[in-house]
Structure 1
Amino acid sequence: MTLTPAQIDTLLTAKEAQPHSVLGLHLGKKGKSAGLVGRAFVKDAVSCELIDLEADKAIPMEQIDEAGLFDVFIPRRRKVFRYQLRVQYPSGEMRQFFDPYSFLPTLGEQDLYLFNEGTEHCIYTKLGAHLREMDGVAGVSFAVWAPSAKRVSVVGNFNQWDGRYFPMRPLGASGVWELFIPGLGEGELYKFELLDQGGNIHLKTDPYGTYFEAPPGNASIVHNTRKHEWGDGEWIAQREAQAKQIDRPISIYEVHLGSWKRQVEDGGRPFNYRELAPMLADYAIDMGFTHIEVMPLAEHPFEGSWGYQVTGFYAPTHRFGSPDDFAFFVDHLHQRGLGIILDWVPAHFPRDSFALAEFDGTHLYEHADPRQGAHMDWGTLIFNFGRHEVRGFLIANALAWLDRYHIDGLRVDAVASMLYLDYSRNEGEWIPNKFGGRENLEAIDFLRETNRLVHDYYPGVLMIAEESTAFAGISKPVDEGGIGFDFKWNMGWMHDTLRYFEKDPIHRKWHQNDLTFGALYQWSENFITVFSHDEVVHGKNSMLYKMGAWHIPEKAANLRALYAHMWAWPGKKCLFMGCEFGQSHEWKYAGSLDWHLCQYLDHEGIRLLVRDLNKLYRDEPALSSRDLDPTAFRWIAAHDTEASIISYVRSDAEEQTLIFTVGHFTPTAREGYRIGVPRRGRWVEVINTNSEYYGGTGVGNGGEVHTEDVEADGCAQSLVLTIPPLSTTIFKWTAE
């Protein structure tokens, strides 16, 4: 025996921090004799031999402990040789395999240096679990960052989840622990068992894990994310070609995959990725949307969080299939001409004990001080954006979704909570920055770097901020001093507009500024005009039931008028599922949308209108290719508050096409109403939300109107219109 009692005790009690210095084959001595020392620790083994593969010779090992600890001294050998272990188990079964402790590290000094610096942008290819060949031997390499741990082990079914076996080696001062286990393959369940400085055991899932089992197990699963053969090359090339052309048709359908539709014949289960792909593509294409935005699909244990409390940042959720199934889903959408935007949640993470919280027994990913590290609203933890490895973890996460799954855009959740140190905090509950201010300088630097790198690595990918404050420069390029997003959700317009439409029409005349105020800041950012899932939950009512009217037909008329105004107003478009057909109930994550309502014209008419609005938007550059140009918009009139009428014009770059919108938001039709227009000639009525086709009364202008040479609203000519009740009417003038 070459081990001391102290070494034996350290191995048996899983306290060995340098397992590769003890286990495996090493130069050593026994007494005065020099030679090689071989040691193995194999669970449940009753005998073990060291097989010299070069000499094809079996060398019996001495059993030191019945837990499976073996030792042998080989005299007069000075050169470490290639070997395997041949083990017999109590059942009589014999196995021969390579020893994990005979391999060199899978990460080099440069990898570790860049990781600690936070600049290894593809660190997800190094840390985590990866199928590899080492010296011609297939297996899985494991690596995890846990700088304060005293010992880290890989555990799984392969060692009966016993942390005494497969302890990992620390790689210098990097804080990274590593182990290559030969013979393991795809599908293995695993976790990391960590011993902290206080002697406490933590069983953690892999922060870089690519696939997870369902709760309550939550184990990481070894998976090859490169198996899918992509067929979207044409789409990617087109996306890159449009990289500098962000002012183009973008109409987004926001979807929660688990509740869009469900398989009624199979107990109401959610459809999986492969089932959803053709159905969702068919529907979105028919409706004229350009992109689908999916609510967070990164792994999360609680469905009621809707995906916003992430425990597996690198893994598509298991709920709808495997990572390969998700790749199929994205590929199918691309081949059908649809982009996909993913909700991404770098602002916070939950306190679940199996995930990132206090990962190595310390506040590793989060701030230790709750004034910086605890999110007051959601009971979650805030990332320490000032720590290089944490910032690198998140930046690489954004890039991994684009690399592995060809995602076309990231909608970044809760950006406002990242920008401000005092977000949702009272005096004394936050710590000012180094200049005494409330801006979170580290988070701002993180967002800028993420946006810069996404655009550098993946031209044409869109970065979208859900940001609800007046923080300047959200969609301004980084090199111009901005945060670097392509777009920002227009939360101000959304709140003002809904506040107006929620009022009974009789009261709207005193609140017309809610409709017009947004034009004052419309071009301060690149905006997406949005009604999202947040507006139809938590007692806020569905979009239909928000409308200030008593009866469903009137509510539907209001909603049609609102949507037409939204599509005619500057800004890209985003609408949450179910809102497009005026679902009556609030959204429920655990059931399907109420598709049966589409048999009724009050609902189906709304859907048909949204479809026609998308077509008009995509076909007319005056609407879709000049959303970000203030010279393309002109108010005509917004002074008639008594009638609750507004009107405005959008134009193409050459002003060869003008789109004229008239919104009227009282229930009384207006006959002979004169409004000025900037061009003489014929104006075609291209959308009338009061059309019988959409469920309206049919009052309108017969398809077109012609100007009269009568001055009005500052124009040399005007139209005399029949303005339907509770409606938005859109006219088009084209140069002849």
Structure 2
Amino acid sequence: MEKTTRRLPIVERDEWLQPVEAQMNLRHERYERKMADIGRSAGSLVDYANGYRYFGWQWDDVLDGWWLREWLPGAHDVYVFGDFNNWQRTEIRMHKDAAGVWSAFFPAAMYRDRLRHGSLYKIHVHGDNGWLDRIPAYARRVVQDDETKNYTAQFWNPAEPFDWRGDAFDASKIGSLLIYEAHVGMAQEREGVGTYREFTEKILPIIKKDGYNAVQLMAVAEHPYYGSFGYHVSSFFAPSSRCGTPEELKELIRRAHELGLAVIMDLVHAHYVKNLNEGINSLDGTDHLYSPPGDAGYQQYWDSKLFDYGKEEVQHFLLSNVKYWLDEFHFDGYRFDGVTSMIYRHHGYVTFDSRDRFFDEGVNGDALTYLTLANRLAHDFRPSAVTIAEDVSGMPGMCIPIADGGIGFDYRLGMAIPDFWIKQLKEVPDEQWDIREMWSVMTDRLPEVKTVAYAESHDQALVGDKTIAFRLMDKEMYFHMDRASENIVIDRGMALHKMIRLMTISTGGQAYLNFMGNEFGHPEWIDFPREGNGWSYAHARRQWSLAKNGFLRYAWLGDFDRAMIRLVKKYKVLADGYPWNLLMDERNKTMAFSHGDLLFVFNWHPSASIPDYELPVQAPGKYVPVLSTDESRFGGQERQSMAAEHFSFDAGEGDGQRQPHIRIYNTSRTATVYLRKK
């Protein structure tokens, strides 16, 4: 492999990176060396990532039977047992090859009537930690016994394979991403665990009606503790059986595609559950099968196990997992969870106060190489695939194309935005909000880095925190959300809720995300069943009926969200890039900016409504309001007429040229969008 001689485009374009050019080159060369190794061994990265087609249960046409294979190099003995042999642990011995792969063959002539679709099984592993009953890492279906609560692998072989014919969805054609983040299990209104089928029948139509074009599904891979929100994964190739069968998840995705919705999976490759009974921890009896040995393999902040990204077999396992969900389930891409934890040995728990932090000994170069390979694989296998990085550190090149020296993600999450809103609401009275700081936070991104903006996600809704709606209106939501009630807390909360969302979507990035229910101001936190709440499902659900009730104000918030999404799509606001700053009036807490022919005016002042307020516009013309947070149809007072016409006039010199202005009634706690007509 030749060393990089040309300057990487990412360094060429960014003077800030030129002092660390050698480190950037080294990072890219590590990826290139790995790609060359894969090319020599497998031909291509796509062909390399086929672990799910070799391990686990695989049918052999030549020998007419099933193979079961598992990588367990440190094991001394391995047996497979299940209902097909009356759970006799040491009857069917697996055999080990030179690579540490154990296998057993099940001839159809002998097992046809015993090894059936739905059969339960485990492996019995003798390792350094003794004899343990375990679930194979490549199990595609894992179920929990209702009585014992124990998890068991399940032989999954439907008589007819799922019919994907006609599913030719292309996520690249949906336009700017408008993501509806959802959790299938808590998406229903009844107390209990929702199913894939319920989500398909009841929730997908809501998402479509609301105008979103992508669904981001959380907690897809199997996880033993429901309250982990899916982040303590135990079986990486098995969709959560709580919500139904793999076929029902596939039907959900196919139906979403029919509705024009992309489906993005929340992929957890940052860590895995430490449980021995359910997970892959010490599966071969050693502490370093999928993890680095000792303390280096433990994520102390999350009480979970870390992956050893530099180990070839672990890389192969994870890359095969990336391809598996795209191939077998037709997901349209991934939101990679916990990227910051992956790429730093300190997991991001430091202050990123200098450029050296991105290149010092705290950086996990193996993780960066893995993520680059994962992005290359996803886009090679499915060119329309979308990849999103959850990285709070700002690692250089995270969302730059691999060929330019980047890591290859399409988007990063704008995590500073929800943090800012929550901090404002918690610590600063809104009459003291700094509109210049607000503008800076919303627009603080590099031109090349596509950002997913969001005011709040599932993180802000968890017990111990509060949603924006709940933080604004709190207990008053229980007593004064009926439309006949008069309450200044509710009035303020409704107004700011709409303004915050419109500000975020119109300034924060090139894509937008909302967590289910937040669009209509869902009143309560998320609290999964646990010992502390009596194992209650009361807060692990979404009360959709609140938004459908014509006597409550939730419907107004939902109506505004739909109108906002419709406007953003119609005028391609997200694709327009940075907003054009026209006015920052700190005294009156008023800002104005434009996107194409749209003029956005935000008056954050709690009381100052100003008649004949003059503000600059980008071009002359007639400006007519097309959306306002104060419209009566959204629960506002409609203090300005939506039928008004505002003609520009010449207000003298501005920036070396004549600056057109308009006059409006600038009402307090209102955001209004005007359309310029020539």
Q: Specify if TM > 0.5.
A: yes
Equivalent residue, structure 2, for 1:727: 670
Shift of 1:553: 2.0
Equivalent residue, structure 2, for 1:214: 144
User: Does the C-alpha gap of structure 1 residues 596 and 325 become closer, same or farther in structure 2, counting only changes over 3 Å?
Assistant: closer
In structure 2, the residue corresponding to 1:270 is in which secondary structure?
coil
After TM superposition, list the pairs within 5 Å mapping 1:181-580 onto structure 2.
181-182=106-107, 183=111, 184-197=115-128, 200-214=130-144, 216-224=149-157, 227-235=161-169, 238-239=170-171, 242=173, 248-262=175-189, 264=190, 268-354=191-277, 355-423=279-347, 437-502=361-426, 505-510=429-434, 512-521=436-445, 523=447, 525-530=449-454, 531-547=456-472, 551-569=489-507, 570-580=509-519
In structure 2, the residue corresponding to 1:340 is in which secondary structure?
strand
Equivalent residue, structure 2, for 1:624: 574
Q: Does 1:167 align with 2:93?
A: yes
User: Does the C-alpha gap of structure 1 residues 688 and 157 become closer, same or farther in structure 2, counting only changes over 3 Å?
Assistant: same
Alignment check: 8 A CA contact 2:67 2:105 kept: yes
Which structure is larger by alpha-carbon Rg, 1 or 2? 1
Tell me how far apart the structure 1 counterparts of residues 265 and 222 of structure 2 sit (CA, whole Å): 13
Point out 4+ residue stretches in structure 1 off by more than 6 angstroms: 432-435
Amino acid at match of 1:707: S
**Equivalent position to 1:709, from 650, 657, 673:** 650
Q: Select between 335-344 and 702-711 the one with higher mean Cα deviation.
A: 702-711
Equivalent residue, structure 2, for 1:612: 563
In structure 2, the residue corresponding to 1:351 is in which secondary structure?
coil
How many aligned residue pairs are there?
594
Tell me how far apart the structure 2 counterparts of residues 285 and 415 of structure 1 sit (CA, whole Å): 30
1:523-581 Cα deviation digits (max 9, x unpaired): 35110002210012232212212238961221111001111112222421100011100
Shift of 1:132: 4.1
In structure 1, the residue corresponding to 2:662 is in which secondary structure?
strand
Equivalent residue, structure 1, for 2:628: 688
Tell me how far apart the structure 2 counterparts of residues 705 and 299 of structure 1 sit (CA, whole Å): 57
Shift of 1:433: 12
Alignment check: 8 A CA contact 1:547 1:555 kept: yes
Alignment check: 8 A CA contact 2:430 2:606 kept: no
Amino acid at match of 2:77: R
Q: Give aligned-pair identity as a percent.
A: 23
Equivalent residue, structure 2, for 1:88: none
Tell me how far apart the structure 2 counterparts of residues 572 and 435 of structure 1 sit (CA, whole Å): 29
Tell me how far apart the structure 1 counterparts of residues 134 and 677 of structure 2 sit (CA, whole Å): 64
Shift of 1:453: 0.8
User: Does the C-alpha gap of structure 1 residues 641 and 426 become closer, same or farther in structure 2, counting only changes over 3 Å?
Assistant: closer
Shift of 1:502: 4.6
After TM superposition, list the pairs within 5 Å mapping 1:630-709 onto structure 2.
630=578, 633-638=579-584, 640-651=585-596, 658-668=597-607, 669-703=609-643, 704-709=645-650
Q: Which has the higher helix share?
A: 2
In structure 1, the residue corresponding to 2:317 is in which secondary structure?
helix
Amino acid at match of 1:130: Q
Amino acid at match of 1:551: V
Tell me how far apart the structure 1 counterparts of residues 185 and 77 of structure 2 sit (CA, whole Å): 40
Amino acid at match of 2:661: S
User: Does the C-alpha gap of structure 1 residues 186 and 227 become closer, same or farther in structure 2, counting only changes over 3 Å?
Assistant: same
Tell me how far apart the structure 1 counterparts of residues 402 and 307 of structure 2 sit (CA, whole Å): 22
User: Does the C-alpha gap of structure 1 residues 679 and 501 become closer, same or farther in structure 2, counting only changes over 3 Å?
Assistant: farther
Alignment check: 8 A CA contact 2:340 2:348 kept: no
Tell me how far apart the structure 2 counterparts of residues 494 and 426 of structure 1 sit (CA, whole Å): 20
Equivalent residue, structure 1, for 2:58: 130
Alignment check: 8 A CA contact 1:232 1:335 kept: no
In structure 1, the residue corresponding to 2:266 is in which secondary structure?
strand
Amino acid at match of 1:393: F
Shift of 1:232: 4.3
Shift of 1:217: 2.6
Amino acid at match of 1:642: R
User: Does the C-alpha gap of structure 1 residues 616 and 148 become closer, same or farther in structure 2, counting only changes over 3 Å?
Assistant: same
Tell me how far apart the structure 1 counterparts of residues 636 and 88 of structure 2 sit (CA, whole Å): 69
Tell me how far apart the structure 2 counterparts of residues 696 and 723 of structure 1 sit (CA, whole Å): 14
Amino acid at match of 2:640: G
Equivalent residue, structure 2, for 1:592: 541
Alignment check: 8 A CA contact 1:503 1:548 kept: no
After TM superposition, list the pairs within 5 Å mapping 1:60-209 onto structure 2.
120-135=48-63, 137=64, 139-171=65-97, 173-182=98-107, 183=111, 184-197=115-128, 200-209=130-139
Shift of 1:423: 1.9
Amino acid at match of 1:185: R
1:29-52 Cα deviation digits (max 9, x unpaired): xxxxxxxxxxxxxxxxxxxxxxxx
Amino acid at match of 1:667: P
Shift of 1:716: 1.4
Amino acid at match of 2:369: D
Tell me how far apart the structure 2 counterparts of residues 675 and 363 of structure 1 sit (CA, whole Å): 65
Q: Select between 589-598 and 563-572 the one with higher mean Cα deviation.
A: 589-598
User: Does the C-alpha gap of structure 1 residues 128 and 498 become closer, same or farther in structure 2, counting only changes over 3 Å?
Assistant: same
Amino acid at match of 2:51: I
1:675-716 Cα deviation digits (max 9, x unpaired): 100111111211100111100111124333221222486561
Equivalent residue, structure 2, for 1:9: none
Shift of 1:435: 8.3
Alignment check: 8 A CA contact 1:553 1:602 kept: no
Alignment check: 8 A CA contact 2:358 2:395 kept: no
Tell me how far apart the structure 2 counterparts of residues 483 and 545 of structure 1 sit (CA, whole Å): 38
Tell me how far apart the structure 1 counterparts of residues 599 and 48 of structure 2 sit (CA, whole Å): 51
1:606-625 Cα deviation digits (max 9, x unpaired): 1101101111111112x032
Q: Which runs of 5+ in 2 are unaligned?
A: 1-37, 475-487, 529-536
Tell me how far apart the structure 2 counterparts of residues 713 and 579 of structure 1 sit (CA, whole Å): 41
Shift of 1:451: 0.2
Shift of 1:276: 1.8
